[in-house]
Amino acid sequence: MRVSQHSEHRPAPGRRWRLLVPVVCLVAGVGFAASARDSRGTDLRAPGITSLADTVRSAEARVRSADAQLRTLQRQVQAEARAAGQDNSGVAAAQAKVTPLLQPGGLTAVTGSGIEVVLDDAPAVEGSDSADNNQRLVHQSDLQAVVNALWAGGAEAMTIAGQRVIPTSAVRCVGPTLLLNGEVFSPPYRVAAIGPSDTMQGRLTSSPGVTLFREAAGYYGLGYTVESAHTLHLAAYTGPVSLTYARPSK
């Protein structure tokens, strides 16, 4: 039998492995060295990094720290502004024009009588399908219906979960949580409004959206309560008030 010329020079399997093993070890060693250099002795996949919950908590802690710094800086700016108004007549005149607009803009804390509305998710039921579980959650449209009814009823100031609602505030739900003024909140959602209690309660009763939520609350066990309050203390809005707009690319 004739043997081809190519087969005579093909390395044996054992010889191939003897040639490949040093190459593989060299590549692996380079990889380990690069990993050690980048990590500087730390774990590249530490539990705090790989855990989504830990990542969220870390981000929330950074936000709280930044909020504290913001409040400190705002107090400093307010103190400087008051001092400038005392020393400069032009600044004092400008401040006199702005001051009456602070309260209707939600930039000052207010106290007064009104009502509190609390919306809450229903307890989860094992074995129910996803559609039923979705009906047991407070949705964005439910909160919006309550907020709109309170404004229509003459609310003068309002907070949701302690966050002051101003004209630029948007009530958005991201999954089962509320996103308001750049912060995330979980139910129950407490809506406090200063204004005429009877008129606001009347608007809540006649609102089609609120009526749908009350019916769902009775059927699925969602939480819905309305109570009058003689004294409500609503905090001022402390977030940014400047508006940002999209701009055409150049």
Q: Which two tokens stand for residue 39?
A: 């990590």
* 76 shares its domain with 167: no
The residue whose two tokens read 């996803």 is 130
Residue 74 domain-assigned (yes or no): yes
Residue 127 domain-assigned (yes or no): yes
In this model, does residue 126 exceed pLDDT 60? yes
With 0-12 / 13-18 / 19 or more C-beta atoms within 10 angstroms meaning exposed / middle / buried, residue 145 is buried
Predicted confidence (pLDDT) per residue in 217-230, tens digit:
999 999 999 999 99
Residue 242 domain-assigned (yes or no): no
Against a cut of 0.85, is the pTM above it?
no
* 77 shares its domain with 182: no
Distance CA 6, CA 192 (A): 88
Domain assignment of residue 66, given as a range: 47-102
Which range of 65-69, 96-100, 140-144, 236-240 scores highest in mean pLDDT? It is 140-144
Predicted confidence (pLDDT) per residue in 69-89, tens digit:
877 887 788 788 778 777 787
* 121 shares its domain with 170: yes
* 205 shares its domain with 136: yes
- Binned at pLDDT 50, 70 and 90, residue 9 comes out as very low
Residue 70 domain-assigned (yes or no): yes
* 94 shares its domain with 20: no
* 125 shares its domain with 220: yes
The mean-pLDDT minimum among 25-34, 101-110, 182-191, 231-240 falls in 25-34
Strand partners, 178: 173, 185
DSSP state letters, the chain? -PPPHHHHTSPPHHHHHHHHHHHHHHHHHHHHHHHHHHHTTS-TT-HHHH-HHHHHHHHHHHHHHHHHHHHHHHHHHHHHHHHHHHH-HHHHHHHHHHHHHHTTTT-S-EEEEEEEEEEEPPPP-TT--HHHHHHTS--HHHHHHHHHHHHHTT-SEEEETTEEP-TT---EEETTEEEETTEEE-SSEEEEEES-HHHHHHHHHH-HHHHHHHHHHHHH--EEEEEEEEEEEEPPP-S-----------
Spell 157-185 as b/e; 16+ CB within 10 A means b. Answer: bbbbbebbbbeebebebeeeebebbeeeb
* 73 shares its domain with 31: no
* Phi, psi (deg, nearest 5) at residue 37: -65, -45
Residue 87 domain-assigned (yes or no): yes
Residue 176 near residue 115 (C-beta atoms within 8 A):
no
Residue 137 domain-assigned (yes or no): yes
* 180 shares its domain with 131: yes
The residue whose two tokens read 């309305």 is 226
Q: What CATH number is attached to the domain comprising 215?
A: 3.30.70.1880
* 212 shares its domain with 98: no
* 51 shares its domain with 139: no
In total, how many domains does the chain have?
A: 3
* 29 shares its domain with 121: no
pLDDT at residue 128 in the model? 66
Nearest one of 189, 171, 166 to 236, comparing CA atoms = 166
- Binned at pLDDT 50, 70 and 90, residue 149 comes out as very high
Residue 246 domain-assigned (yes or no): no
Residue 173 domain-assigned (yes or no): yes
* 87 shares its domain with 168: no
In this model, does residue 18 exceed pLDDT 80? no
The mean-pLDDT minimum among 108-112, 178-182, 187-191 falls in 178-182
Nearest one of 100, 123, 115 to 149, comparing CA atoms = 115
Mean pLDDT of 185-196: 95
